[in-house]
Structure 1
Amino acid sequence: MYHEQLKTRDAFKVVEISTLDGPASAALAELELGRGRLAEAAVPDVPRAIGVMMAATYAAIVALFALTIATAGQSLFVIAIDVVFLVAFFAVPTIMLKLERDPARRPSLSRFMAQGMQTYTGHVSGAGALAQMFIVPVLLAFAVLAIGVIAVLS
């Protein structure tokens, strides 16, 4: 698409909001008064099940910490802090997603896996998107498990 540089204010038509009549002006007035504001979908292509799986993966990481290093010094305090951060990490997005306009439009997991999702760089298959979302948390869980095994054996 070609865009032309506007050199003067007369090169385009200025429309004042006050000149609008009808339902459009009523809707604008509602928005200006702070009513009628609804949140847009934050992640409309991602099913709820993926968020649950992500929370379960991070909960598993904290559980692995608890199982493997809970006997060491002040590790219970560190694990308690981890739990607090984990709750905050998932509570804020959960609250934001509850404010969505129409959460029923979110795809099911099977539809997500079949259709994939559109990203900034192009289309990604469902399996590819899951791999991108879960590679770090799953490898982190394996690293915590390895650290725990090494700690127990030493």
Structure 2
Amino acid sequence: MTRRIDQGQMLKQADIVASPPLLACVDQSFEMPTAIFATMGTLFFGFLAVMTIGFANPNLAVPMAVNFAFLTAFFGIPVLFVRIPQGGSRALGWSRFMRQGIQTATGHSSGTEAAVLTLLLPLLIFLWAVAITIIAALI
């Protein structure tokens, strides 16, 4: 059932929290330099290229084209967000990123730590594709 709560009672029970920092609302680049995104995109596109070439089959043409289209959108749309003139911000430069680092949910990370953590999974995915393709070619 529902019941009416008066304004005074609601204000007493309300949790008042600070507003989010302005950077979180305005910055669409996630405080990461363009080189990180470019490297990540290259590794993911490399994964798809290795799998497409390694397992070349006419039946896989359409699924691979769809994968490439989704990956292009996945990396293309954030580029559009960063380039928005109203309220948008530019990505951090590489030197500032390495000097300053970034704040993450688990605490502050230096630039090197953030770069390694960000690029580790795409690198492992790419290397997995290379390994699987080599194994399939040898069997």
- Normalising by structure 1, report the TM-score: 0.66
Q: Match for residue 58 of structure 1?
A: 44
How far apart are the structure 1 equivalents of 2:92 and 2:65? 35
Cα deviation for residue 73 of structure 1 reads: 5.3
Q: Match for residue 127 of structure 1?
A: 112
Q: Match for residue 125 of structure 2?
A: 140
Query: 1:65-76, aligned counterparts within 5 Å?
Result: 65-70=51-56, 72=57, 74-76=59-61
How far apart are the structure 1 equivalents of 2:70 and 2:95? 31
Bigger Cα displacement from structure 2, 40-49 vs 57-66? 40-49
Q: Is residue 2:29 matched to residue 1:43?
A: yes
How far apart are the structure 2 equivalents of 1:113 and 1:75? 41
Q: Match for residue 8 of structure 1?
A: 8
Distance 1:111 1:87, change over 3 A: same
Unaligned runs of 5+ in 1: 1-6, 13-38
How far apart are the structure 1 equivalents of 2:65 and 2:137? 21
How far apart are the structure 1 equivalents of 2:99 and 2:8? 51
How far apart are the structure 1 equivalents of 2:119 and 2:30? 18
Q: Match for residue 73 of structure 2?
A: 88
Following TM superposition, where does structure 1 have runs of at least 4 consecutive aligned residues deviating by more than 4 angstroms? none
Unaligned runs of 5+ in 2: 1-6, 13-24
Q: Is residue 2:84 matched to residue 1:99?
A: yes
Residue identity matched to 2:8: T
How far apart are the structure 2 equivalents of 1:114 and 1:68? 40
Q: Given that residues 45 and 71 in structure 2 are in contact (C-alpha distance below 8 angstroms), is that contact kept between their aligned partners in structure 1?
A: yes
- Normalising by structure 2, report the TM-score: 0.73
How far apart are the structure 2 equivalents of 1:89 and 1:138? 17
Q: Return the index of the structure with the highest Cα Rg.
A: 1
Q: Secondary structure at the match of 2:114?
A: helix
How far apart are the structure 2 equivalents of 1:49 and 1:146? 26
Distance 1:77 1:152, change over 3 A: farther
